[in-house]
Amino acid sequence: MLSDKARWQAWVDEAAHSLDELNAQSCEPFVLGGLCTGAMLALAVAARRPMPGLRGFALLSPLFAYDGWALPWWYALRPIAYATGIARLFSMREREPYGLRNERMRALIRQQLADGSTSLVGPGSVPLPVVRESERLSAHVRTLLPGLTHPVQVQHARDDEICRLASVRSSVARVPKGLLSLHVLENSYHMITADNDRHRVADRLSAFMQGLDACGFDSEPFMNDLRSAFDVVEAATLSP
């Protein structure tokens, strides 16, 4: 467990160590990905060293920016806390809608938080210094996107309350053409793996990985994925 004082580089070190342990146990090819900040960690870890088994990236609700509609009003003032050294006195508490459009799942989170336990959506609060390191990690990852050489699937909710779809689109526009597919979810908020579209998310991940297996690495990417019968797909048309 990393301390609240850990820098984002330590997060990447820890994730890289875990991946090294998994690679030591198996030589099978793999797709690297994650949810929210986990998506940022996946890209940052892959940039550390060559990974022969890496086939692609699956980025779920990637946190390229904290700019969604449910952030607290004071969040815009965080640079003052950073500059004055008082950031340690503040935390971002979990609040409605908890990343979930599904009311039944929200009720579950309310109960978990009321019990004082770590909820499905994470801890009850995140210290502001941790948020700052997350922002720094996201800024670092944005510089890595033009150098990607593996296929990238992105799934993001149109109404994500933490990171706007517009921010995701402007960020992933840096991914080289032919490597990107962006799938937009219409019935979820940030926690897409637990919300109304969770089954669709799983289906899209499955189709993505099957597509990687179905075609050679140097053949036309995403042909399998883009021809699947998903209702909303935005792909490789993000650059001017």
Backbone angles phi, psi at 132, to 5 degrees: -60, -40
Spacing of C-alpha 205 from chain mean position? 14
Cα(191)–Cα(94) distance, rounded to whole angstroms? Answer: 13
The pair of structure tokens assigned to 66 is 């904290």
For strands 125-127 and 91-93, give the pairing: antiparallel
Q: What is the largest CA-CA distance in the chain?
A: 54
- pTM for this one? 0.84
What are residue 72's DSSP bridge partners? none
Cα(62)–Cα(194) distance, rounded to whole angstroms? Answer: 15
Mean pLDDT calculated for residue range 184-204: 95
- Rg over CA atoms, the chain: 18
Q: Is 8-234 assigned to CATH 3.40.228.10?
A: no
49-84 tens-digit pLDDT: 888 889 999 999 999 999 999 988 888 888 898 888
Concatenate the DSSP letters of all residues of 52-112 into one string: TTEEEEEEES--S----TTS-GGGGGHHHHHHHT-GGG-EEE--TTTT-S-HHHHHHHHHH
19-28 tens-digit pLDDT: 999 888 888 8
Single-letter code of the amino acid located at 176: P
What are residue 155's DSSP bridge partners? 60, 183
Angle at 158 between CA 177 and CA 133, to 5 degrees: 75
Evaluate whether 198 touches 192 at the Cβ level (below 8 Å).
yes
Average predicted confidence (pLDDT) for the chain: 84
201-232 tens-digit pLDDT: 999 999 999 888 654 443 343 333 333 333 34
Cα(65)–Cα(58) distance, rounded to whole angstroms? Answer: 18
